[in-house]
C-alpha cells in the first residue's frame, strides 16, 4: 500500500469505463468515471490519469481539481458555499448578506472565475470605491473584505484553492465618527404623530411602543399578532430580527386599539401589517412638517432608528427597571440600554431632583431674607407687625438675629435661641 494502484473497471450492468484506484497509505479503493465506452480510449485516459496523479503525489503539479477549479464560475461555487451555510443552521439574514457582499465584489471588480480573483484586483476595486463621488464607508468596505475572505477560506478547505488570495489584505481604518442619534421629546412625538398620514402614523406608533427596527417592522405580518389574548403581544420572527432569534413583545393598549382599527375584515396571515417608508426622504418630510430638526445643535440625528432610542429613553424616564427595559429592547448588555440607547438630555432629571427630601429642618423655611438688613420674621406675628414685645428696644432686638434651635422638637416649633447653640450668631438668611 506504499504505491499508487489503478486499473480499469466496468461493472456487469455498466457500459461506461471507470478507474478503480487506491492511494498510497490507504486500504480502500475508490472509483472515478472516465465517461467513455471504448476500451482503448479508456486505457489512454487511464495512462494520463495515472501520470497526472503521480505528479500530484510527488508535488510536481497541483491537484487536477484545483487546476480545473481556477476556471470554475464563482457564482456556482458561491451557491455551494451558501448551501453549506444553510445546512449548518446559519441564519437567513447572514446568508443573504454574504451573498450580497461576495456578489457585489465580483460584479464590480469584473471577477467571473477563480482565476480572476487577486489581491491587487481587490485593492484596485477598494480604491475606486473610496474615491468615487459617493464613497462607501470604511466599515462597509471591511464587510466586503471579511465576507469574501470567509468564502475564500471555504474554497481552500474544499481544495478549490491552494490559499486565500485576500489573506494579506488589511482592513481599512475606521476614522469616521459614528452617527449619534437623539431621542425625540414628548412634544416632538406628539407633533410627528399629528402630521403623519394614518398609515405612517401607525408605523411610528408601533416603533415608539415596541422599539422594533425598520426591517423588523417591514417583516411584521398579521399572523405575527395576537391582539385578543391577555396580554396582547406580537412575535418578531427570527428571519426578521437582527440577532436571528425569535422575540415575543408585549403591546401597549394604545397600539392594540390602533392595530384593530386598521386590521382588514379578512386578511391572510402572511400579509404585511405596516407600510414602512423605504427611504429616509419620506421620514424627513414628516420631520419637517412637524418642525423637528433632523440634526440638532449638538450634531445628533433624529433618523428613523431614533424612534427606538426614544422608546428606551421613555422607559428610563418612567422609572421602568433596567432589567425590564433590557428585555423590551432585546439587549444582551446593560450598557446598551443605560448608555447607548438612553438620551440623557431628554430624561426628566430636574423633575426627579425636585422630589428629593429637603436637608434643612422645616422651621428654616420661615426665616426670610430682606436684602442686606438683619430683620428677622417671626411667624407667630401677623403680617405687617413689628414682632417686638411691648417695651422691647428695637435696637436690642436687631443686635443678634434669632436662629431656630437645631434641637427643637415638633412641639417646640417656635423656640429660638440667641448667641448659643450649634451655630454662631449670623445674620438671618
25 phi-psi bin (left φ>0, alpha ψ -120 to 50, beta other): left
Mean pLDDT of 64-91: 82
pLDDT at 420: 44
Sequence-ordered list of residues with C-beta below 8 angstroms from that of 160, at least 6 positions apart, any chain:
65, 66, 69, 72, 77, 114
pLDDT (0 to 100) of residue 421: 44
Grid coordinates standing for 339?
448608555
Cβ–Cβ < 8 Å for 234, 222: no
Strands (E), 303-422: 403-404, 416-417
**Ramachandran bin of 166, using left for φ above 0, alpha for ψ from -120 to 50, beta for the remaining angles:** alpha
Single out the residue of 6, 86, 15 nearest to residue 50, CA to CA.
6
For the segment 51-55, the average pLDDT, to the nearest whole number, is 80
Distance, CA of 151 to CA of 80 (rounded, Å): 10
What would the mean pLDDT of 334-347 be, rounded to a whole number?
86
**Model pLDDT, residue 328:** 92
pLDDT at 426: 45
Grid cell of 23 as nine digits: 492511494
pLDDT tens-digit map of 101-112: 999 999 999 999
List beta partners, residue 417.
Answer: 403
| 34 pLDDT more than 70 | yes
In the predicted model, what is the mean pLDDT of residues 379-389? 48
Across 349-362, average pLDDT: 83
Fold of 186-340: hpI Integrase; Chain A (1.10.443)
pLDDT at 413: 44
> Does position 211 have pLDDT exceeding 90, yes or no?
yes
The pLDDT, as a whole number, for residue 396 is 46
Nearest of 160, 140, 171 to residue 84 by alpha carbon: 160
Of the pLDDT bands very low, low, confident and very high (cuts 50, 70, 90), residue 4 is confident
Whether residue 19 contacts residue 7, with contact meaning beta carbons closer than 8 Å, is answered with: yes
- Taking 80 as the threshold, does the pLDDT of residue 380 lie above it? no
pLDDT digits (tens, 9 = 90+) for 246-278: 999 999 999 999 999 999 888 899 999 999 987
> Is pLDDT larger for residue 424 or for residue 287?
287
The dihedral sign for the CA sequence 165, 170, 176, 178: positive
pLDDT tens per residue, range 111-134: 999 889 999 999 999 999 888 877
Statement: residue 43 has pLDDT above 50? yes
Model confidence band, residue 66 (pLDDT cutoffs 50, 70, 90): low
Better-scored residue on pLDDT, 49 or 417: 49
Confidence bin at 308 (pLDDT 50/70/90): very high
pLDDT over threshold 90, residue 213: yes
pLDDT of res. 226: 93
* Listed range (63-67, 160-164, 262-266) with the worst mean pLDDT: 63-67
Name the percent of the chain in helix, strand, coil, to the closest 5: 45, 10, 45
User: Helix or strand or coil: residue 66?
Assistant: helix
Please report where in the chains the cell 423655611 appears, as a residue: 365
Of 160-164, 299-303, 315-319, which gets the smallest average pLDDT?
160-164
Q: Can you list the pairs that 243-249 forms with residues at least 24 positions away whose Cβ atoms lie under 8 Å?
A: 243/330, 244/91, 244/92, 244/93, 244/94, 247/330, 249/210, 249/212, 249/328
In terms of average pLDDT, the best of 57-66, 68-77, 403-412 is 68-77
**Residue scoring higher pLDDT (38 or 362):** 38
Top CATH class of 74-157 equals mainly alpha
Mean per-residue pLDDT, 359-386: 54
**Residues in Cβ contact with 99 at an 8 Å cutoff, skipping those fewer than 6 apart:** 78, 82
CA atoms 341, 345, 348, 354: torsion sign: positive
- Least Cα distance to 366 among 383, 389, 390 occurs for 383
Question: 365-397: string of b/e by CB count within 10 Å (b at 16+)?
Answer: eebeeeeeeebbeeeeeeeeeeeeeeeeeeeeb
Rounded CA separation 163/165 (Å): 6
What cell numbers appear for 344 in the block? Answer: 440623557
Report the C-alpha gap between 80 and 97 in whole angstroms: 16
Average pLDDT, the chain: 81
Higher pLDDT, 222 or 53: 222
Rounded CA gap, 201 and 210, in Å?
A: 14
Q: Residue 302: its pLDDT value, please?
A: 92
Q: What angle do CA 111, 80, 21 make, to 5 degrees?
A: 105
More confident residue, 349 or 190: 190
Amino acid at each position: 500500500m506504499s504505491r499508487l494502484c489503478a486499473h480499469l473497471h466496468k461493472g456487469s450492468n455498466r457500459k461506461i469505463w471507470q478507474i478503480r484506484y487506491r492511494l498510497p497509505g490507504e486500504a480502500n479503493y475508490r472509483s472515478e468515471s472516465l465517461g467513455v465506452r471504448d476500451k482503448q480510449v479508456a486505457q489512454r485516459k487511464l495512462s494520463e490519469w495515472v501520470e497526472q496523479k503521480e505528479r500530484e503525489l510527488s508535488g510536481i503539479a497541483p491537484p487536477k481539481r484545483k487546476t480545473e477549479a481556477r476556471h470554475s464560475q464563482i457564482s456556482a461555487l458561491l451557491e455551494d458555499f451558501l448551501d453549506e451555510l444553510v445546512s449548518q443552521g446559519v441564519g437567513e439574514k447572514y446568508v443573504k448578506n454574504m451573498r450580497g457582499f461576495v456578489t457585489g465584489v465580483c460584479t464590480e471588480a469584473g471577477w467571473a472565475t477563480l482565476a480572476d480573483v487577486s489581491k491587487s484586483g481587490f485593492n484596485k476595486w477598494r480604491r475606486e470605491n473610496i474615491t468615487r463621488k459617493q464613497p462607501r464607508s470604511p466599515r462597509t468596505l471591511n464587510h466586503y473584505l471579511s465576507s469574501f475572505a470567509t468564502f475564500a477560506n471555504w474554497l481552500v478547505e474544499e481544495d478549490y484553492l491552494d490559499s486565500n488570495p485576500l489573506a494579506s489584505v488589511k482592513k481599512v481604518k475606521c476614522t469616521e465618527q459614528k452617527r449619534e442619534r437623539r431621542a425625540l421629546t414628548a412634544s416632538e412625538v406628539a407633533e410627528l404623530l399629528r402630521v403623519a398620514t394614518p398609515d405612517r402614523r401607525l408605523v411610528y406608533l408601533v416603533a415608539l411602543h415596541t422599539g422594533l427596527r425598520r426591517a423588523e417592522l417591514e417583516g411584521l405580518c398579521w399572523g405575527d399578532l395576537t391582539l385578543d389574548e391577555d396580554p396582547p403581544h406580537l412575535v418578531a420572527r427570527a428571519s426578521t430580527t437582527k440577532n436571528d432569534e425569535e422575540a415575543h413583545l408585549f403591546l401597549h393598549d394604545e397600539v392594540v386599539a390602533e392595530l384593530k382599527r386598521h386590521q382588514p375584515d379578512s386578511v391572510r396571515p402572511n400579509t404585511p401589517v405596516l407600510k414602512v417608508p423605504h427611504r429616509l426622504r419620506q421620514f424627513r418630510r414628516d420631520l419637517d412638517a412637524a418642525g423637528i430638526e433632523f440634526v440638532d445643535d449638538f450634531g445628533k440625528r433624529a433618523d428613523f432608528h431614533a424612534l427606538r432610542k426614544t422608546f428606551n429613553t421613555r422607559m428610563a424616564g418612567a422609572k421602568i427597571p433596567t432589567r425590564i427595559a433590557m428585555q423590551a429592547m432585546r439587549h444582551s448588555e446593560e450598557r446598551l440600554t443605560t448608555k447607548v440607547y438612553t438620551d440623557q438630555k431628554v430624561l426628566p432629571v430636574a423633575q426627579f431632583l425636585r422630589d428629593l427630601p429637603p436637608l434643612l429642618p422645616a422651621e428654616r423655611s420661615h426665616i426670610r431674607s430682606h436684602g442686606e438688613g438683619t430683620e428677622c420674621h417671626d411667624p407667630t406675628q401677623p403680617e405687617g407687625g413689628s414682632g417686638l414685645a411691648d417695651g422691647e428696644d428695637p435696637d436690642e432686638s436687631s443686635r443678634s438675629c434669632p436662629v431656630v434651635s437645631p434641637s427643637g422638637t415638633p412641639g417646640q416649633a417656635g423656640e429660638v435661641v440667641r448667641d448659643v447653640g450649634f451655630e454662631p450668631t449670623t445674620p438671618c438668611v
